[in-house]
Structure 1
């Protein structure tokens, strides 16, 4: 059992009381960053194994606070975004909160385009922060809800020439924004042997992975996607999970970084997120559950002294009506599906359409002929 440390001496000067405290901040942007890492071990993992979780839910809105602030600041510096001009973007939620924060910080009105899958809690939070929420009514016949949202954004930009869209899927600033997060991990842990990270727009996986690989050339990087996502070469399918996966091909995905990819299904993610909540208190939604499941498996197969980091993009608050709601989960058939001890294995993403937790050590850019990136991963790593 762990206990709180009891101070044995009274500080001799008031300044010493602030030695471990965060400094006062003058703008909301100062609330972002310097998030904690938490050890996740048994009973979530097998005895003697575990991993470190980077808790990005300790940011005001989640991990995408970092990229929203960075993209807006960079656009203002270049002159692409003029003072007071509107921000317009497509989002399933988390970036919306980050843009709301950036809008308040820098003085920009914000409009986000989403779809009926956005949780009412998230829509309410965005509205509370002064963000206009527009919702598309029908999915695009090929690109699904994601493409439908992007088309609405294009229409808004055409109607408001002074508006600016961050385009999180293809904006390289979305990648650069995560350097500080990677530096925090190095400072907090000293050495990192493996990184487990979800992949959606490709921003934080590329940004964190590139920096950490520079520090640790032998770093094993494991990407986590959802079933029904096209990012790593699977056919598009119905996706219940939000925050990871895509029905388009984001330009920010750094395929050459990954040693392997895992696809996780919604019921498996729900099991892991709920198990985390019960045994470690720190948890989150779809992305956190999927990442934790893969990190748990990896921790049981790498040497006990290995330092594995899993990035948890947000907390559980926005998921109280979905992942942690029994009625919702029963309606979608998400309960009672404890994952297998090991993932299914395929040798190439085109080998089969995956419907449950599946691993592949050949990582291929589906647009390889166009983008020139295709890299078989090293199975021995």
Structure 2
């Protein structure tokens, strides 16, 4: 197995540029250990001979990649006076951001109220409660906006009951994007030149924030967005989704559509197969997002020029998915076992060509809100 790791102390190789990292919280505290996550080379046998990519292991943060944005959004809100000392934090989450907000609440002394739905992994709900968060679970999906909108509606109710409470609103808060500048700097310090960045897209925060900063160092950078089937982010119709941590049934304002060179939708069966092969070949794996991102990064390592340097962001680790991704009974019940994974994606020329149900790519990325605006204008 070809496996190498990189720490965060390597100097950048971009000439004439100095890295200025933002101040961090004191080390040896829970929040102080967020960031400076390792980089792992994913090569054989997961990839073919002399092929591979670098994986940024964000699962080495206490709760995952969203520790970064949870702390940042809370700290900025406190600085601006939007979050008073001791006031509650209220937010909708599928899990990982909730862990980050629990960490922020412990760090800065705020009670945390989280709204989720029945699809949350059992361990995640228990972890959130163990970390002191108050967990509210909606019981019915919204008629058109699904579970995501149902959660947001419950958040609005909780905020109405407590006017002093603060909602970070991860889908639309620009601080969610700004929070990932340090992650981009870490990538440059660890790898130097980056030609292709592969990122999952959910709220749009880390894809927009990392791409924006990386392009100041690597103007030629190609950004590949990874979504799930059944997600509306890139213009597909809403469908049933069991993959959590990526995808959406709404159009988050933080998604930077202009940053993407292409998008891939990955289905649950493909993601599960990839997660399991990664686990057995590299002892580094994760949940749905990791399986989807690694699927696309492996294909890119085979199809892009051998001289290109590919970096994939792995948002979390495997431990919270013992009862879903790594549970044969769960996967069997949801029809994601026993299907041979694809080696190549299907292709469509436009995100509206047809509804995709398995791994598919599209090299034309547009903002679906522009289509909606055009249709509304035509009706007038």
Q: Common fold, TM-score beyond 0.5? A: yes
- Which residue of the partner structure matches residue 264 of structure 1? 266
Separation (CA, whole Å) in 2 of partners of 1:62 and 1:366? 29
Task: Structure 1: state its 5+ residue gaps.
Answer: 5-22, 373-381
**What do residues 96-120 of structure 1 show as CA deviations (whole Å, max 9, x unaligned)?**
0000000000000000000000111
Kept in 1, the 8 Å contact 2:3–2:43? The answer is no
- Partner residue of 2:105? 103
Where does residue 92 of structure 2 map in the other structure? 90
| C-alpha distance in structure 1 between counterparts of 2:250 and 2:216, whole Å | 29
Residue 131 of structure 2, aligned match among 120, 123, 129: 129
Residue 54 of structure 2: aligned partner: 52
* Secondary structure of 2:284 counterpart: coil
Cα pair 2:231 2:238 within 8 Å, conserved: yes
Cα drift, residue 371 of structure 1: 8.2
**Match among 64, 67, 88 for residue 66 of structure 2:** 64
1:325 counterpart residue number: 327
Residue 369 of structure 1: how far off its partner (Å): 5.8
Please name the residue that 1:9 is paired with: none
Residues paired across the two proteins, number: 356
Secondary structure class of the residue paired with 1:133? strand
Using the TM superposition, give the Cα deviation of residue 42 of structure 1 relative to its aligned residue in structure 2, in angstroms: 1.2
In the alignment, which residue of structure 1 is the partner of 2:235?
A: 233
- Which of 336, 347, 350 pairs up with 2:349? 347
Q: Report how far residue 370 of structure 1 moved.
A: 7.3
> Who is 1:275 aligned against?
277
Q: How does 1:1-381 map to 2 (within 5 A)?
A: 25-368=27-370
Looking at structure 1, the residues matched to 325 and 2 of structure 2 have their Cα atoms a distance apart, in angstroms, of 29
In structure 2, C-alpha distance between the alignment counterparts of 1:63 and 1:3, rounded to whole Å: 22
Distance 2:156 2:166 in 1: 10
SS of corresponding position for 2:63: coil
Residues 225-266 of structure 1 deviation map (CA, whole Å, 9 limit, x = unaligned): 000000000000000100000000000000000000000000
Structure 2 counterpart of 1:7: none
**Do the aligned partners of residues 84 and 365 (structure 1) sit closer, same or farther apart at CA in structure 2, a change above 3 Å counting?**
same
Asked if the contact 2:94–2:244 (Cα under 8 Å) also holds between the matched residues in 1, the reply is yes
Distance 1:2 1:65 in 2: 30
How far apart, in 1, do the equivalents of 2:307 and 2:373 lie? 38
Instruction: Give the distance between the partners of 1:266 and 1:162, measured in 2 at CA.
Output: 40
How much is the aligned-residue C-alpha RMSD, in angstroms? 1.8
TM-score, normalised via structure 2 length: 0.91
The Cα of 1:336 is off from its aligned counterpart by 2.2
**Offset from partner CA, 1:40-75 (integer Å, 9 cap, x none):** 011111111100000000000000000000000000
Deviations 1:72-106, CA, capped at 9 Å, x for gaps: 00000000000000000000000000000000000
The secondary structure found in structure 1 opposite 2:340 is coil
